[in-house]
Amino acid sequence: MIRLVVADDQAILRSGLVALLGLESDVEVVGEAADGAGTLAAVAEHHPDVLLLDVQMPAGTTADGKPGPKDGIAVAETLRGAAQAPRIIVLTTFGRAGYLRRTMEAGAGGFMVKDTPVEQLVDAIRRVHQGLRVVDPELAAQSLAVGSSPLTLKETEVLQAAAAGGTTARIAQSLFLSEGTVRNHISAAIGKLGVTGRAEAVRAASENGWI
């Protein structure tokens, strides 16, 4: 049996996946989660072979009151190299090339979009469980065409905070930077992305899956 945990913040979708995958004779859904903290807890409790993981999930709060990983990619990065870490398939609504590259760099074994037919998803679970990699072919081609993110780590963090609606002062406070440094990072990102303002930089980076 392939022991599986399903992590997705959309309850209806998660319940549907659990029900459908539970019909497979060689798959046992042993746990589910709705946020980053809950996913880590479910993995620690159930020790699944495979984790089916959404990209865009809330962080949630751990049992000791700390914030969980900010999204599915951060969950994958947290689990990478851990003892008894499950193999991971990232499942997302957002078929963005940058997401694919980031999930592979985080150690995921598969990347599929949510409208993938169930039969293909089950096949991907079996293949990843065997140690193989499974990637949506169209996204793989897009990833090669788009290339890697031109943004530095700090520029990425600043744009992520800006995407959440933070003011310059709030971004500076949350990242322990000066407001001038935040403005410099935003200006650098604008130049690298070839756009004319902060909002366009956030949109361009988001559309490419770089934040």
Q: Does 159 lie in the same domain as 200?
A: yes
Answer for the pair 54, 19: CB distance below 8 angstroms, yes or no: no
Tens digit of pLDDT for each residue in 107-149? Answer: 889 888 888 888 989 999 999 999 998 887 666 656 555 667 7
- pTM of the complete model: 0.69
What domain range includes position 182?
153-207
141 and 157 share one domain = no
Same domain membership, residue 123 and residue 45? yes
Of the candidates 31, 102, 48, 112, the one whose C-alpha atom is nearest the C-alpha of residue 71 is 102
Whether residues 69 and 14 share a domain: the answer is yes
Q: What is the C-alpha separation between 125 and 51, in angstroms, rounded?
A: 9
For residue 188, the model assigns a pLDDT of 93
Clarify whether residues 72 and 175 are in a common domain: no
Give the torsion through C-alpha atoms of 75, 84, 33, 90, to 10 deg.
50
Residues of the chain below pLDDT 50: none
